[in-house]
Amino acid sequence: MTEEINNLNEIKELSDKIIGEIKNHLVGSEDVARSLVISLLVGGHVLIEGFPGTGKTLVSNLFSKSLDLSTSRIQSTADLMPADITGTRIYNPKSREFEFREGPIFANIIVVDEINRSPPKSQSALLECMQEKQVSADGITSKLDEPFMVIATKNALELEGTYPLPEAQLDRFLFRLVMKYPDESEEVEILNRSNKSDTSTSSKIEKSVLLNAKNMIHTGVKANPNVLSYIADIVRSTNELPKVVLGGSPRSAVALLYAAKGYAAVTEGRNYVIPDDVKAVSLDVLNHRLILRQDALFEASETEENWTVPYIKKILTECINNVAVPS
């Protein structure tokens, strides 16, 4: 697709095209695909969490294949070094000089598989790239090309050989998305499609179109003071939850605003944000920014799912529903 974006309705059409491509190959992926599109168009990063075999890596790969952007993949292992991500200086015998060889981080879409298997040093190397969109290696600082987006996957079950993600890095992700096991009808559909191994896409969206759409959302979608106050009230209320040690920060509020702007443009082609947009993205924006108390963590471990994310989402849902919605 090479046409220029002229209005927000065309952004919706563009987004529907990408989401449709992913839905054709992966059952039950519409919500995750939409969030990936929103994150790309507002300059965010995404953490996808779920049990093994739920399609976390597949949806990441399908998303990157639908775009005419450079893509790289980092497979996290216990011996992954920062230089394996950022690059390093290598001696060139022909020129008799050391040359910087770029690592996989020098791409538009970076898929980091099983990020919690990489050691803390390597996780920290990603931190600067995600926040500053630049790389510092061997005394050289290089800007990363736009658009730049990290899609990281993480297994819900903390198994051996994993390292917890620090709160500072979790806070750099715009969304933490959850991929659950499919229901009965979806599983039947997966089996029906199992013989189709083709994951190619019909056409790819060009970089210039995506950058144009990103700029249009940034400058063309507005939020009135009532909506801004609503966002602030939601974030402030997360810090008053009795089961939470630390709630949302000012960065959370900014992320919620950006995500709501993207949601308004991607789902309805609107140039303004309404409270429903904020509510629609709030769970995915805030669920990884809350730190639970020890008793709440124990309570979450005693649930049927034995997983903190659904527990946090339940708390957040009650919290958001108690915040007054502006008229």
Work out the mean pLDDT of the chain and round it to a whole number. 88
Is the pLDDT at 304 greater than 80, yes or no? no
CB 206 within 8 A of CB 68: yes
Q: What is the pLDDT of residue 158?
A: 62
Greater pLDDT, 202 or 327: 327
3-state secondary structure of 92: strand
Is the pLDDT at 194 greater than 90, yes or no? no
Is the pLDDT at 310 greater than 90, yes or no? no
Written as one string, the DSSP assignment of 20-88 is HHHHTTSTT-HHHHHHHHHHHHHT--EEEEE-TTSSHHHHHHHHHHTEES-EEEEE--TT--HHHHHEE
Q: What amino acid is encoded at 266 in this protein?
A: V
Q: What is the pLDDT of residue 197?
A: 58
Q: Which of 148-162, 214-228, 279-293 has the lowest mean pLDDT?
A: 148-162
Share of the chain above pLDDT 90, in %: 55
Q: Which of 139-143, 200-204, 290-294 has the lowest mean pLDDT?
A: 200-204
How far apart are alpha carbons 127 and 157 in whole angstroms?
A: 23
Confidence of residue 199 (pLDDT cuts 50, 70, 90): low
On the question of a cis peptide bond just before residue 164, with omega within 30 degrees of 0, the verdict is no
Per the document, the length of the chain is: 327
pLDDT tens sequence across 259-296: 999 999 999 999 999 999 999 999 999 999 999 898 88
Please name which of 181, 148, 154, 158 lies closest in space to residue 170, comparing C-alpha atoms.
Answer: 154
Instruction: Please state, as a whole number, how many other Cβ atoms lie within 10 Å of the Cβ of residue 298.
Output: 10
Q: Locate all alpha helices (DSSP H) within the chain, ordered by sequence.
A: 8-23, 30-42, 56-65, 82-86, 120-132, 167-170, 184-193, 207-220, 225-238, 250-268, 275-286, 294-301, 308-321
pLDDT tens sequence across 222-260: 999 999 999 999 999 999 999 999 999 999 999 999 999
Q: What is the pLDDT of residue 138?
A: 74
Q: What is the pLDDT of residue 162?
A: 79
Q: What is the pLDDT of residue 44?
A: 95
Identify the structural domains of the chain with CATH numbers, from first to last.
1-184+203-214 (3.40.50.300), 221-327 (1.10.8.80)
